[in-house]
């Protein structure tokens, strides 16, 4: 116990920006102290727990709890009251739809679409489910998810563990209170030459349930996947995917997006942006995790033994911002950009919106910051909108001059 206490005390303090100690939009000043305490208590508990419970086991326990709580309507109403902030100024029009706020949950948290509805109650305007593949697959051997507490980061090499497109259908086949994006990936067993067909099979099966679909060609954990981002390979994938969506949903335009990786060079990004415009893609999600290990506070001796995998959280932020800016330089407001990667605070989210993102997502900061993270971010965004004298957050999209 003494060693655990010492370990906790050696960790860097919760950053001020993460605590969000500015006055609440409404409500008594005392809220600030409660918020600061909540962030510290949650983080301390998480770090204590992480000594005993491996990261993936903790995630599975949370998913079990969420599935158990999902049918309890009264509790769900309470969750929404506590965790959700809505205001007309936060509404965003993107992908031909209205989103109550610009904040969503990134792909990979709810891989089998089992808890997206209750996750929406935690203040997310949309949840990206998946990545789902055509064939069910186990993913990589465990352990494959690691915490880096000093960086508030994660490294994962999950490898698209999921129950497969067919088995996901019953989870989606009912009304819902939150918008869902559906992330589709290539089955590991599909050869490179079968990649397009493999995506298309999943799209045909699942597209009708989605508010938008994403082609995930950027996970570092499926061998060869990222090579699908080269224009020669991307073009047939985008063309055939669009056809599949038209066949699956002849009466509704299902927005088609691409998720790119943060390790692409500017030239490749420009090519992707131009191709996306030429083929009338609806949007690009930037970015997936990085294979680099730059700028970490964690000791290399701790990080290297963890092996391969994608790094997420604050060390990814600079790369995700660069990709967003480069893409925005090419596509402007002609298609929707969704920014994800290292967003922890309302200021982070605001900067991405001012750099051209219509929507933003978080994943790792939801783990490290706890269930109030979405509310903290949306509250701070609302404050920004009011501070800048805007009538809606929509007006801030692409306004680099408002970014401070």
Ligand X SMILES: Cc1cc2nc3c(=O)[nH]c(=O)nc-3n(C[C@H](O)[C@H](O)[C@H](O)COP(=O)(O)O)c2cc1C
Give contact residues for ligand X (rule: CB under 6 A).
106-108, 111, 130-131, 145, 154, 156, 158, 183, 216, 219, 259, 288-289, 312-313, 316, 340-343, 362-365
Instruction: Please check whether residue 143 is in contact with residue 151, taking contact to mean a CB–CB distance below 8 angstroms.
Output: no
Nearest residue to the partner ligand X, using Cβ: 108
DSSP calls for 24-73 = PSSS-THHHHHHHHHHHHHHHHHHHHHHHS-HHHHHHHHHHHHHHHTT-H
Q: State the Cα–Cα distance between residues 125 and 183, nearest whole angstrom.
A: 16
Token couple for 100: 């109550």
Instruction: Please check whether residue 134 is in contact with residue 203, taking contact to mean a CB–CB distance below 8 angstroms.
Output: no
Query: Which residue stretches of 125-265 are H helix?
Result: 165-172, 195-206, 231-248
At closest approach, how far in Å is the CB of 271 from ligand X? 21
Token couple for 166: 């067919």
At closest approach, how far in Å is the CB of 284 from ligand X? 12
Q: Which of 183, 187, 202, 219 is catalytic?
A: 219
Looking at the Cβ atoms of 112 and 392, the one nearer to ligand X is: 112
At closest approach, how far in Å is the CB of 251 from ligand X? 28
Q: State the Cα–Cα distance between residues 293 and 400, nearest whole angstrom.
A: 28
At closest approach, how far in Å is the CB of 218 from ligand X? 7
**Cα 219 from chain centroid (whole Å):** 13
At closest approach, how far in Å is the CB of 62 from ligand X? 12
At closest approach, how far in Å is the CB of 152 from ligand X? 10
Query: Which residue stretches of 163-313 are H helix?
Result: 165-172, 195-206, 231-248, 266-278, 300-303
Half-sphere exposure of 322 (CA within 13 A, CB side): 15
Main-chain phi, psi angles of 340, to 5 degrees: -150, 140
Instruction: Please check whether residue 400 is in contact with residue 354, taking contact to mean a CB–CB distance below 8 angstroms.
Output: yes
Taking the chain, what is the end-to-end CA distance rounded to the nearest angstrom?
43
At closest approach, how far in Å is the CB of 108 from ligand X? 2
Q: State the Cα–Cα distance between residues 295 and 314, nearest whole angstrom.
A: 9
Looking at the Cβ atoms of 229 and 289, the one nearer to ligand X is: 289
Report the candidate in 276, 384, 375, 374 with the shortest Cα–Cα distance to residue 334: 276
Looking at the Cβ atoms of 248 and 340, the one nearer to ligand X is: 340
Query: Which residue stretches of 70-146 are H helix?
Result: 73-83, 116-121
Report the candidate in 384, 402, 399 with the shortest Cα–Cα distance to residue 101: 384
Looking at the Cβ atoms of 145 and 237, the one nearer to ligand X is: 145
At closest approach, how far in Å is the CB of 214 from ligand X? 7
219 is catalytic: yes
256 contacts: CB under 8 Å, gap ≥ 6 = 212, 213, 215, 238, 241, 242, 245, 281, 282
Q: Which residues are catalytic?
A: 219
């Amino acid at each position: 116990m003494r060693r655990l206490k010492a370990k906790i005390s050696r960790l860097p303090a919760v950053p001020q920006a993460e605590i969000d100690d500015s006055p609440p939009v409404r409500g008594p000043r005392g809220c600030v102290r409660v918020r600061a305490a909540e962030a510290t208590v949650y983080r301390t508990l998480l770090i204590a727990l992480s000594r005993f419970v491996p990261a993936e086991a903790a995630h599975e326990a949370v998913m079990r709890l969420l599935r158990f709580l999902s049918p309890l309507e009264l509790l769900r109403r309470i969750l929404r009251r506590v965790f959700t902030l809505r205001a007309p100024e936060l509404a965003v029009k993107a992908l031909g739809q209205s989103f109550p706020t610009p904040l969503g949950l990134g792909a990979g948290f709810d891989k089998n679409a089992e808890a997206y509805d209750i996750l929406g109650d935690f203040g997310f305007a949309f949840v990206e489910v998946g990545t789902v593949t055509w064939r069910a697959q186990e993913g990589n051997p465990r352990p494959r998810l690691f915490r880096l507490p000093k960086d508030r980061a994660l490294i994962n090499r999950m490898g698209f563990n999921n129950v497969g497109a067919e088995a996901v259908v019953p989870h989606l086949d009912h009304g819902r209170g939150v918008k869902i994006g559906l992330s589709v990936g290539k089955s590991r067993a599909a050869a490179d030459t079968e990649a397009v067909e493999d995506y298309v099979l999943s799209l045909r099966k699942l597209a009708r349930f989605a508010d938008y679909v994403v082609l995930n060609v950027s996970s570092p954990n499926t061998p060869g996947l990222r090579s699908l981002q080269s224009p020669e390979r991307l073009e047939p994938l985008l063309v055939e995917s669009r056809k599949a969506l038209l066949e699956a949903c002849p009466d509704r335009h299902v927005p088609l997006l691409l998720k790119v990786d943060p390790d692409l060079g500017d030239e490749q990004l420009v090519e992707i942006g131009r191709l996306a415009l030429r083929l009338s893609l609806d949007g690009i999600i930037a970015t997936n995790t990085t294979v680099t290990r730059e700028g970490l506070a964690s000791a290399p001796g701790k990080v290297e033994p963890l092996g391969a995998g994608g790094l997420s959280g604050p060390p990814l932020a600079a790369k995700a911002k660069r990709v967003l800016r480069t893409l925005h330089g090419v596509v402007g407001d002609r298609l929707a950009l969704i920014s994800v990667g290292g967003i922890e605070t309302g200021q982070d989210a605001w900067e991405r919106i001012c750099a051209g993102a219509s929507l933003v997502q978080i994943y790792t900061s939801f783990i490290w910051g706890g269930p109030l993270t979405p509310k903290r971010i949306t509250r701070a965004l609302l404050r920004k909108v009011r501070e800048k004298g805007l009538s809606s957050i929509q007006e801030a999209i692409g306004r680099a001059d408002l970014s401070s």
